[in-house]
Chains A and B, each alone.
Chain A
Amino acid sequence: MGRASSKEDAGTLFHSLRSAYAATPLNLKIIDLYVGFSIFTALIQVVYMAIVGSFPFNSFLSGVLSCVGTAVLAVCLRIQVNKENKEFKDLPPERAFADFVLCNLVLHLVIMNFLG
């Protein structure tokens, strides 16, 4: 009895999440796709490291952290561009995107130095 209701719960949960997500605007969906792609790349790198070992460690770290970093920065961009966030309503999206590009530039310059 409990199992059936929890299965139903999971089903309704999944459906309501899906329907709520479908309502988000297109630009936010694109950013979410980019975030998912970064995390997926990071996971691939971790699996590869588990197979071949972690030497040289700085290269592994720089690879994983570049993925994590771009994911995090993209999420920050999404927060700042999202019209539902009252705190950022007087921040022009061009400024948010310019900040995003600048941070990514610094991130990748440091990664290139760290790759070794």
Chain B
Amino acid sequence: MAAVANMPVSDLLKSFKLKTKQQELLIRVSILCLVYILAFITRLFSVLRYESMIHEFDPYFNYRTTLYLTQNGFYDFWNWFDYESWYPLGRIVGGTLYPGLMVTAALIYRILHFLRFAVHIREVCVLTAPFFASNTTLVAYFFGKEIWDTGAGLVAAILIAVCPGYISRSVAGSYDNEGVAIFALLFTFYLFVKAVNTGSLAWSLASAFGYFYMVSAWGGYVFIINLIPLYVLVLLITGRYSMRLYVAYNCMYVLGMLLAMQIRFVGFQHVQSGEHMAAMGVFFLMQVFYFLDWVKHMLSDTKLFQAFLRITVTCAVTVGTIALGLGMLSGYISPWTGRFYSLLDPTYAKDHIPIIASVSEHQPTAWSSFMFDFHILLFLFPAGLYFCFKRLSDATIFIVMYGLTSMYFAGVMVRLILVATPAVCLISAIAVSATVKNLTVLLRSKNKGVQTGSTKGSGSSKASSKALLDQSQPFQKNGAIALLFGAFYLLSKYATHCTWVTSEAYSSPSIVLAARGAHGSRVIFDDYREAYFWLRQNTPPDAKVMSWWDYGYQITAMGNRTVIVDNNTWNNTHIATVGRAMSSYEDEAIEIMRSLDVDYVLVVFGGVTGYSSDDINKFLWMVRIGGGVFPVIKEPDYLVNGEYRVDKGAAPKMLNCLMYKLCYYRFGEMLTEYGKPPGYDRARGVEIGNKDIKLEHLEEAFTTSNWIVRIYKVKPPNNRW
């Protein structure tokens, strides 16, 4: 009876029996589907723990512009002049942003509404980055397939799905340009490598469109427009050039440049800025190079060709240097901007542009950050480089160059670990895939080795090598199995580490703070939103709020009030004016505030909760930036023996400046910790020096429940009598 019942089951199984090729395809597709889903859900920690909201500072501006786009349409968005920020200057939003992210989110929103899914635009914004991260894994698969083989492609997809370097800027809620830009970057590179491999105009056109999407999404497109000409140059120098390279680069450069100039923020930079001149230089060099190649092909006599070569090369070099020299001297070709120049000379920003130096993401990277963000990929990267050099082709040269240049830049600036992540994942994938393949081949070849060793004699070297294979055979097989287990153990540890990092470090919304209470329960500080909604509901609609530039975007987006400076930081003098106001005595500051029509002042204070990114800790940067434009503000005035203190021994200017007064007003009566005197600042760990603060021109309007955000109203001037 059991035998009869088993028969239909085995027949069923036999009907599923697929050929090897189909089995392989099934495995590949299912792996890719699972990786796609994994990349999406690993980024959802903060949505599950808190709620679906936008994180950080910059995404609030992107969210506000996307909201404006969906409500008013593309034409109004493209020509928008925002009078609610940078009072009294205003900001030309349409011409000073990268529209790619907003247009993408608005498009997804339109499609979903067309399919009758009534989602709010905020949900679409929150989930845009994870969606594009999943798409990046697919592109990584195809890219890996192009460079090496399908195995490397699959491993690359898996590695990039969970790599913390990428997750840090693409969690759900991090609605920032990088979320879309890394997808565009990898996509452009993949299309270009495909174009170089096939030499087809269609693929070059596709890579030009990919480049256009990248230019519309992020300012880091400068990396592409410099890496690709560098790659072409390397190929020309090493003699690996071919006709396919000419077709791919020229089509991509001309069409890409034209498409990029359609974005108003980029404008004419492709022909006027020093950062884009490398591409143009390589373009002309290619024309000369291939023209000479063609002439050489046509002429049969080499001596004549040498003469011709000499004439042409001297002509081309002189014309090129004259044009470049004229351009740079007359100032027509602008030199490298500070943001990118500080990548080549890391000390430049600290001395000359304090705003760039003050951003925490622009600091040089520590070793621990590399280990934190890459884990085992850090030692798989050199291994992958070795494999790439063993099998050099156009595609592997490209990925090696991308990896090395991006690793250099990642070492200079923490934020650029993000750009290095796809290269590191791809190269490590090559190492993993090649190693695993070699090991499994060793495992499988044992039977064949034994047979041929026994049948052939020990005459030919081939047989003797096989005999050697036989002698060390048992250890080789065991060694291969042990190494395979080691590799799988390492990879599983990588997966655990990545998930832990995502959960602990990169899923905090920054606008909602969390801490552990005395009994281990989770305490949520929602002070920021409390303050912004107070502003929204309790101040007149045309009120102007002065705060440090970090909070500008959030105030305009959530508080819906005009701000003086915000995160765009395009006007250094305006920011320095605010910095000067914050670091002056109250009498001088009120003059500045009256000149700017300020109604409310907002400061962030972490003394009660121990929150360490508050305005007192950022204060020295306000002094530096203010002092950079107004020499009346001198940094040593606020320091004691070079030390920054807020307790009794602090400098008198520090104890009486506006920022100090606003942060510590009424704090002298506050008991913050058991056993410590009143006025104990938990973030600095000291008792404050000036407890008896009186404000003459401002009055306290609102302090949030945990004292994190404090809002003050500027009093109108006294009546004259």
Known: A9-B304, A69-B255. Contact between A113 and B262, CB under 8 A? yes
Across the A-B interface, the 4 shortest Cβ-Cβ residue pairs: A99-B201, A20-B298, A76-B247, A69-B254
Known: A21-B298, A61-B271, A110-B255. Contact between A76 and B304, CB under 8 A? no
Q: Does B258 contact A20, Cβ atoms closer than 8 Å?
A: no
Beyond the given A96-B201, A110-B258, could you list 5 further A-B residue pairs with CB under 8 A, ordered by the A residue number?
A13-B299, A16-B301, A65-B257, A68-B254, A107-B255
Q: How far is the CB of A20 from chain B (nearest CB, A)?
A: 4
B200 to A, closest residue via Cβ: A99
Q: How far is the CB of A2 from chain B (nearest CB, A)?
A: 12
Binding site for A on B (CB under 8 A): 199-202, 204-205, 208, 242-244, 246-247, 250-251, 254-255, 257-259, 261-262, 268, 271, 295, 297-301, 304, 307-308
Which residues of chain B have C-beta atoms less than 8 A from A57's C-beta?
Answer: 268
Q: Does A65 contact B246, Cβ atoms closer than 8 Å?
A: no
Q: Does B201 contact A100, Cβ atoms closer than 8 Å?
A: yes
Answer whether residue A106 sits at the interface, using C-beta atoms and an 8 A cutoff: yes
In the complex, A84→B258 CA distance in Å? Answer: 32
Q: How far is the CB of B470 from chain A (nearest CB, A)?
A: 44
Which residues of chain A have C-beta atoms less than 8 A from B268's C-beta?
Answer: 57-58, 61
Answer whether residue A94 sits at the interface, using C-beta atoms and an 8 A cutoff: no
Q: Does B199 contact A65, Cβ atoms closer than 8 Å?
A: no
In the complex, A55→B205 CA distance in Å? Answer: 30
Known: A9-B304, A13-B308, A76-B201. Contact between A88 and B243, CB under 8 A? yes
Q: Does B298 contact A76, Cβ atoms closer than 8 Å?
A: no
In the complex, A61→B258 CA distance in Å? Answer: 9
Q: Does B262 contact A114, Cβ atoms closer than 8 Å?
A: yes
Binding site for B on A (CB under 8 A): 6, 9-10, 12-13, 16-17, 20-21, 57-58, 61-62, 65, 68-69, 72-73, 75-77, 79-80, 84-85, 87-88, 91, 96, 99-100, 102-103, 106-107, 110-111, 113-114
List 29 contacting pairs A-B, 8 Å CB cutoff, sorted by A: A6-B307, A10-B307, A13-B307, A17-B298, A20-B299, A57-B268, A58-B261, A72-B254, A76-B250, A77-B201, A79-B243, A80-B199, A87-B199, A87-B244, A91-B199, A99-B202, A102-B202, A103-B201, A103-B205, A103-B251, A103-B255, A106-B205, A106-B208, A107-B258, A110-B258, A110-B259, A111-B258, A113-B262, A114-B261
B303 to A, closest residue via Cβ: A9
Residue among A16, A72, A111 making CB contact with B251, cutoff 8 Å: A72
In the complex, A107→B204 CA distance in Å? Answer: 13
Which residues of chain A have C-beta atoms less than 8 A from B301's C-beta?
Answer: 16
Q: Does B261 contact A61, Cβ atoms closer than 8 Å?
A: yes
Known: A13-B308, A113-B262. Contact between A80 and B247, CB under 8 A? yes
A79 to B, closest residue via Cβ: B243
In the complex, A116→B395 CA distance in Å? Answer: 39
A72 to B, closest residue via Cβ: B250
Which residues of chain B have C-beta atoms less than 8 A from A68's C-beta?
Answer: 254
Which residues of chain B have C-beta atoms less than 8 A from A10's C-beta?
Answer: 307
Q: Does A102 contact B201, Cβ atoms closer than 8 Å?
A: yes
Known: A68-B254, A103-B201. Contact between A79 and B298, CB under 8 A? no
Q: Does A73 contact B243, Cβ atoms closer than 8 Å?
A: no
In the complex, A73→B208 CA distance in Å? Answer: 13
A105 to B, closest residue via Cβ: B205
Which residues of chain A have C-beta atoms less than 8 A from B262's C-beta?
Answer: 110, 113-114
B247 to A, closest residue via Cβ: A76
Which residues of chain B have C-beta atoms less than 8 A from A13's C-beta?
Answer: 299, 304, 307-308
Which residues of chain B have C-beta atoms less than 8 A from A9's C-beta?
Answer: 304, 307
Q: How far is the CB of B7 from chain A (nearest CB, A)?
A: 52
Q: How far is the CB of B664 from chain A (nearest CB, A)?
A: 54
In the complex, A77→B199 CA distance in Å? Answer: 11
Q: Does B250 contact A75, Cβ atoms closer than 8 Å?
A: yes
In the complex, A88→B246 CA distance in Å? Answer: 13
In the complex, A17→B250 CA distance in Å? Answer: 26
In the complex, A107→B256 CA distance in Å? Answer: 10
Which residues of chain B have C-beta atoms less than 8 A from A79's C-beta?
Answer: 243, 246-247
Which residues of chain A have C-beta atoms less than 8 A from B205's C-beta?
Answer: 99, 102-103, 106
In the complex, A68→B257 CA distance in Å? Answer: 12
Q: Does B299 contact A85, Cβ atoms closer than 8 Å?
A: no
Which residues of chain B have C-beta atoms less than 8 A from A111's C-beta?
Answer: 258
Which residues of chain A have C-beta atoms less than 8 A from B300's C-beta?
Answer: 16, 20
In the complex, A73→B204 CA distance in Å? Answer: 11
| Most B C-beta atoms less than 10 A away, residue of A57, A72, A80 | A72
In the complex, A6→B301 CA distance in Å? Answer: 15
In the complex, A6→B311 CA distance in Å? Answer: 11
Q: How far is the CB of A68 from chain B (nearest CB, A)?
A: 6
A69 to B, closest residue via Cβ: B254
Which residues of chain A have C-beta atoms less than 8 A from B247's C-beta?
Answer: 76, 79-80
Q: Does A16 contact B201, Cβ atoms closer than 8 Å?
A: no
Which residues of chain B have C-beta atoms less than 8 A from A96's C-beta?
Answer: 201
Q: Does B243 contact A16, Cβ atoms closer than 8 Å?
A: no
Q: How far is the CB of B245 from chain A (nearest CB, A)?
A: 10
Residue among A12, A62, A106, A113 making CB contact with B255, cutoff 8 Å: A106
Q: How far is the CB of A31 from chain B (nearest CB, A)?
A: 13
A9 to B, closest residue via Cβ: B307
Residue among B251, B297, B299, B307 making CB contact with A76, cutoff 8 Å: B251
Residue among A76, A99, A110, A114 making CB contact with B246, cutoff 8 Å: A76
In the complex, A21→B259 CA distance in Å? Answer: 36
Q: Does B254 contact A107, Cβ atoms closer than 8 Å?
A: yes
Which residues of chain B have C-beta atoms less than 8 A from A73's C-beta?
Answer: 201, 251, 254
